[in-house]
Amino acid sequence: MELPFDINLENRVAVVTGGSGVLGSVLCESLAQAGAQVIILARNKGKIDRVVERIKQNGGKAYGYSVDVLNKEDLETVHQDVLSKVGPCSLLINGAGGNSSKATTDGERLSLDDLTDQNQQTFFDLDPNAVEGLFNLNFLGALIPTQVFTKDMVDQEQATVINISSMNAFRPLTKIPAYSGAKAAISNFTQWLAVYFSKVGIRVNAMAPGFFLTDQNRDLMFTEDRELSDRANKILSQTPVERFGKPEDLVGTLLWLVDHRSSGFVNGIVVPIDGGFSAYSGV
């Protein structure tokens, strides 16, 4: 990968939750290329190992842990192992998250016919347990790792937390009320943390990606014939740059936010990286 600009993260330890995914893995690789020792936390060990191996093949340093970000006890165990192997964390990227089909409506708007259609999942049919699980993954999945790893950062120079929000936090999408709400919570939490940590030297900001093609949404974006779906075409029609984001589109913002020389006075912001989607009114 060619970085958009050079920063020096040598001797810095970067912990990335959700670091084995399509977007998270690119964030991990870019941090490693800038010199950081990257700690990848995710669930799927096979995916983790592949990212670690790519980083090592390119001359970087990386370690992987299969762990549930909602299990504080297991995270504390990982934390102690990281301390013993590479030292204290100075960069934390909270990238773990996801959506659930059981917390998603089939239609964009409710019609009277929907109420008698047994094949339609309406707002009234959303599974409260799925909504709770989604909020836990997206919100507690950022809060708990922050509790564990920012202990290392207190009064440390150039310590930074970056949360991964979403442009859904600015403008909620149809069909996914729980996911949109959870990401709005992440943006609010980012601002709260930035104030709370302001006297101990920890900056907290967030990145809010727009529409990027990932393993999670690929089936929604394409038909069985590999044509763009109606929803995908609707998304592109509301995105001024008229394309989906590429994982590499996140790297410049990430490097800017973690580099104290570039953004040392930037604290408590949420940066949309969405091709203008959140700015476009549709007319």
Active-site residue list: 179
End-to-end CA distance of the chain: 37
For 113-138, b where at least 16 C-beta lie within 10 A, e where not — what string? ebeeeeeebeeeebeeebbebbbebb
DSSP annotation of 222 reads B
Residue 138 and residue 97 in contact, taking contact as beta carbons nearer than 8 Å: yes
Residue 31 and residue 8 in contact, taking contact as beta carbons nearer than 8 Å: no
Residue 206 and residue 270 in contact, taking contact as beta carbons nearer than 8 Å: yes
Residue closest to 178 by CA, chosen among 138, 209, 210, 218: 138
